């Protein structure tokens, strides 16, 4: 396989872009994208839209053309707000769909590059491995033990064998090796190739959407998107999950109950108005006003917008949400089970320590450009014993070290010609490369491999062997991977058949480490303060695992190895899982047992994985997290989240965002419950007590222009609480509409209702007319609405504290509300539309002060709770 990869050049970046424009993205229509027309159709079905039309029609028949036109005009305003909200949600979902596109490993300009599957074009050279989803239809150029599950296309569950058949002319295959693919003026070797049907063994074709279950291959892409076999039969690609979440179900039940209560009250209002005032039409208008006041339309909007935009925000932290309920669950996670390699570490080997003779040097302690002379030969021969353009991570690390330390010396610029290679074997874990100077007959041999194998090749005496073994043990205790390096010269014309026939001289040891990601220690500390256990799972040896745990600040406790785990029953494992922080020498199949054991202890488990065998554990975990860069498509499909950069810190950032999203949903819900109480109350009470009506449909619409963006934009954009990662995970049994949340929201709304009602009664007592009383009462209600918005930003901190926290949307909405209210109060034409009267500065200040006072008691309660050091309000359930 490596020789083929070396030969294949693939498309140029420019040619790939040209073909992407010509053929279009490699994707199929999902049927989920909604245009403006579809969104508008949904809007006209909304109850609020129907109520506005009904109110406008009634005013029209009553001859109040101004009122009718104003209500019908508000229809377009409400439609505009809804369109903005829905399109913002659609854009977020569209971004998630783009990220959800299966990844493909292609060769472009001679480089292996992982791209989104939608960017694959005809002519691309694709590398396939076990667990990959084939990104498009193609023909095999080379395959090793390849089996593919084509059940998606054929319905046959048994995988079929694949073999790479020669193209029509043998010379065409070589055309893929250079720049001729898609080159100007050259014949594309793909021309004339026709895909056969799926199904059957030993065929050379692979198909989009099918799954590689064994082996590896190199394929040339022939068809993408709708032109693939998958496209022809109309199958749809995976998209963002849209099932109703637990929060949506809970909210749906509440909305149904409130709708029933609101409908019953509307009937009461219509009948009461008709019986006491003798006008059925005006009674219906009063009923419509109350219906608009009590309609809980914001609840489903909040959940749809918050969860969709929450998933989009999480994607900005390099974490793709494949299943929306995972956004809810993130805030409840109590255990993060993470792989070591690539998640906690960089998955990139670096030379940590070099040992030459009795001297040892840790490279982190010296500048790389000042490597002492005694180590030059060791580094040089380590590089000579490696591939010239290496794929192996350890060989790449040694090459980087040489380029940094020896580039100004003669060691990397000798004119050597590679003439032979002795490969690694099970019998001897060392490889040698034989060179010869172009102007000399002498051979030079460089060898690297397992220290004990290289020591054996050097025929070291017992004392030297013991010294090397001691050095190896010292490096191994630090969790390093160790290579021995040696050199030899040879003058006979014929090279020997085995490496043992050379007289090697031992040069030293090279210790390599996979560096820890920079942000991991801080993220582990953050998890600890958030009450989240971090458990490291690795296939490495216990010594390596212990050193990594110490480096990142993870309390390992005792370490359980895979063989030890296999000897435990489920009860024993569950017991040990309470204290163990590191599992070493674990095979993927054992991850499922670990997840089950942790869940049996009541933990909410997030588990990372990347391989085919990790899929059952990812599916069983409460939050399955697949690796995006190195993970297989099987692992990604079994997961709830995909870690696009494979970085542990991104998981912690996603948990932080998950907690923020849930907090903000709760704030928005509390605000909605609270603000509707005074609105509904001031719509109902005047009818029952035969007072002049305070709120008409136009007033409800004005308030909705504040409420809608507040609950869906302001609270969604609210930054996280100060202590979001300094509190324990949320219990999964905790309800969004908890008893405390409902009671405090009712008290907030009731307090505002009381204040506004007092303002109305005092205004009437002072001899104000209906229009003047309505004006001061409505002003107090708008100010109180803004107060509810401010006070519900945090149930722990006062308004004066939260004002220092930036939220641009808050000031846009509050500023617009103040400007609109000022315009309605100041402009005579608008006053007439709202049935208001001009009022002096005294009553206006009283109304503003009363509105602000409506939330002061809750601000005082926050201070009392804080000073008494009791549990914060929002943590109680």
Please give the positions annotated as active site: 339
Closest CA to 290 of 271, 265, 254: 265
Q: Could you tell me which residues come within 8 angstroms of residue 573 by beta carbon, excluding any fewer than 6 positions away?
A: 565, 593, 594, 597
Structure tokens belonging to residue 382: 């380590």
Q: Are 102 and 120 in contact (CB under 8 A)?
A: no
In three-state form (DSSP H/G/I as H, E/B as E, the rest C), the secondary structure along 280-343 is HHHHHHHHHHHHHHHCCCHHHHHHHHHHHHHHHHHHCCCEEECCCHHHHHHCCCCEEEEEHHHH
- Measured in degrees and rounded to the nearest 5, phi and psi for residue 431 equal -130, 140
Contacts of 436-445 spanning 24+ positions with Cβ under 8 A: 439/415, 441/491, 442/489, 442/490, 442/491, 443/419, 443/489, 443/490, 443/491, 443/495, 444/384, 444/416, 444/487, 444/488, 444/489, 444/490, 445/487, 445/488, 445/489, 445/490, 445/502, 445/504
Question: Residue 538, Cβ neighbours under 10 Å: how many?
Answer: 23
Q: Are 556 and 546 in contact (CB under 8 A)?
A: yes
Closest CA to 754 of 858, 873, 862: 858
Rounded CA-CA distance 844/780 in Å is 9
Rounded CA-CA distance 360/50 in Å is 81
Closest CA to 206 of 253, 164, 262, 171: 164
Rounded CA-CA distance 608/639 in Å is 9
Q: 70: number of CA atoms within 13 Å, CB side?
A: 19
Helix axes 770-791, 697-709, angle to 10 degrees: 10
Rounded CA-CA distance 775/501 in Å is 104
Q: Could you tell me which residues come within 8 angstroms of residue 117 by beta carbon, excluding any fewer than 6 positions away?
A: 26, 27, 101, 102, 103, 104, 133, 135, 136
Give the H or E element holding residue 627.
strand 623-627
Give the H or E element holding residue 490.
strand 481-490
């Amino acid at each position: 396989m490596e020789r083929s990869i070396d030969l294949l050049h693939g498309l140029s970046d420019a040619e790939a872009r040209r073909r992407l424009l010509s053929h279009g993205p490699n994707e199929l229509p999902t049927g989920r994208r909604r245009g403006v027309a579809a969104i508008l159709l949904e809007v006209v079905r909304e109850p609020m839209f129907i109520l506005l039309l009904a109110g406008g029609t009634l005013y029209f028949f009553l001859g109040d053309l101004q009122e009718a036109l104003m209500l019908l005009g508000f229809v377009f305003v409400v439609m505009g707000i809804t369109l903005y909200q829905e399109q913002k949600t659609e854009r977020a979902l569209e971004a998630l769909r783009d990220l959800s596109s299966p990844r493909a490993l292609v060769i472009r300009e001679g480089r292996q590059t992982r791209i989104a599957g939608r960017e694959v074009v005809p002519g691309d050279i694709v590398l396939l491995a076990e667990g990959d989803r084939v990104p498009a239809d193609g023909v095999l150029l080379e395959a090793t033990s390849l089996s593919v599950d084509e059940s998606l296309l054929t319905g046959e569950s048994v995988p079929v064998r694949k073999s790479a058949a020669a193209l029509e002319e043998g010379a065409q295959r070589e055309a893929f090796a250079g720049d001729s693919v898609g080159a100007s003026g050259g014949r594309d070797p793909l021309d004339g190739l026709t895909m056969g049907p799926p199904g059957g063994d030993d065929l050379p074709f692979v198909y989009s959407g099918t799954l590689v279950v064994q082996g590896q291959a190199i394929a040339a892409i022939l068809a993408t998107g709708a032109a693939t076999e998958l496209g022809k039969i109309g199958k749809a690609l995976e998209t963002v999950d849209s099932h109703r979440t637990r929060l949506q179900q809970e909210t749906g039940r509440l909305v149904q109950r409130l709708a029933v209560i609101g409908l019953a009250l509307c009937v009461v209002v219509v009948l009461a108005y008709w019986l006491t005032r003798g006008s059925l039409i005006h009674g219906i208008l009063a009923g419509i006003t109350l219906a608009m006041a009590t309609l809980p339309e914001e609840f489903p909007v909040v959940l749809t917008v918050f969860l969709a935009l929450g998933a989009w925000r999480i994607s900005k932290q390099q974490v793709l949400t494949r299943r929306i309920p995972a956004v809810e669950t993130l805030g409840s996670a109590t255990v993060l089970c993470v792989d070591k390699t690539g998640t906690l570490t960089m998955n990139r080997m670096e030379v940590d320590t070099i040992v030459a003779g009795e001297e040892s040097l840790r490279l982190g302690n010296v500048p790389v450009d000042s490597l002492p002379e005694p180590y030059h030969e060791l580094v040089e021969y380590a590089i000579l014993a490696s591939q010239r353009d290496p794929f192996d991570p350890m060989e790449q690390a040694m090459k980087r070290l040489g380029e940094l330390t020896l580039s100004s010396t003669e060691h990397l610029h000798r004119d050597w010609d590679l003439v032979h290679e002795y490969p690694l074997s099970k019998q001897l874990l060392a490889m040698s490369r034989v060179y010869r100077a172009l102007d000399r007959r002498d051979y030079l041999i460089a060898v690297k491999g397992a220290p004990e194998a290289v020591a054996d090749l050097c025929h070291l005496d017992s004392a030297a062997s013991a010294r090397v073994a001691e050095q190896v043990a010292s490096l191994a205790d630090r969790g390093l991977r160790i290579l021995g390096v040696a050199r030899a010269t040879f003058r006979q014309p014929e090279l020997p058949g085995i490496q043992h026939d050379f007289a090697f001289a031992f040069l030293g040891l090279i210790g390599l480490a996979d560096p820890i990601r920079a942000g991991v220690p801080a993220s582990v500390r953050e998890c600890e303060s958030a009450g989240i256990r971090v458990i490291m799972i690795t296939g490495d040896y216990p010594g390596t695992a212990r050193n990594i745990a110490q480096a990142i600040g993870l309390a390992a406790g005792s370490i359980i190895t895979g063989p030890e785990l296999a000897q435990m029953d489920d009860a024993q494992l569950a017991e040990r899982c309470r204290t163990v922080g590191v599992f070493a020498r674990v095979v993927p199949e054992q991850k499922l047992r670990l997840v089950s054991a942790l869940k049996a202890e009541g933990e909410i488990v997030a588990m990372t994985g990347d391989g085919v065998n990790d899929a059952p554990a990812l599916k069983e975990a409460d939050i399955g997290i697949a690796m995006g860069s190195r993970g297989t498509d099987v692992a990604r499909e079994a997961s709830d989240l995909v870690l696009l950069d494979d970085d542990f810190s991104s998981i912690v950032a996603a948990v932080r965002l998950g907690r923020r999203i849930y907090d903000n949903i709760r704030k928005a819900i509390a605000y909605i419950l609270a603000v509707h109480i005074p609105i509904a109350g001031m719509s109902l009470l005047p009818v029952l007590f035969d007072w002049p009506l305070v709120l008409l449909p136009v007033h409800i619409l004005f308030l909705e222009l504040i409420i809608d963006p507040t609950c869906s934009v302001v609270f969604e954009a609210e930054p996280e609480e100060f202590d979001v990662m300094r509190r324990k995970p949320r219990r999964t049994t905790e309800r969004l509409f908890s008893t405390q949340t409902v009671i405090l929201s009712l008290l907030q709304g009731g307090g505002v209702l009381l204040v506004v009602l007092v303002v109305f009664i005092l205004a009437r007592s002072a001899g104000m007319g209906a229009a003047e009383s309505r004006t001061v009462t409505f002003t107090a209600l708008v100010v109180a609405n803004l107060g509810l918005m401010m006070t519900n930003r945090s149930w722990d901190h006062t308004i004066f504290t939260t004002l220092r926290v930036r939220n641009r949307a808050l000031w846009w909405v509050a500023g617009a509300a103040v400007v609109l209210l000022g315009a309605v109060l100041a402009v005579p034409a608008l006053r007439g539309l709202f049935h208001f009267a001009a009022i002096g500065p005294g009553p206006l200040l009283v109304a503003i002060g009363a509105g602000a006072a409506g939330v002061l008691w809750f601000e005082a309660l926050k201070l009392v709770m804080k000073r008494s050091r009791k549990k914060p309000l929002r943590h109680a359930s």
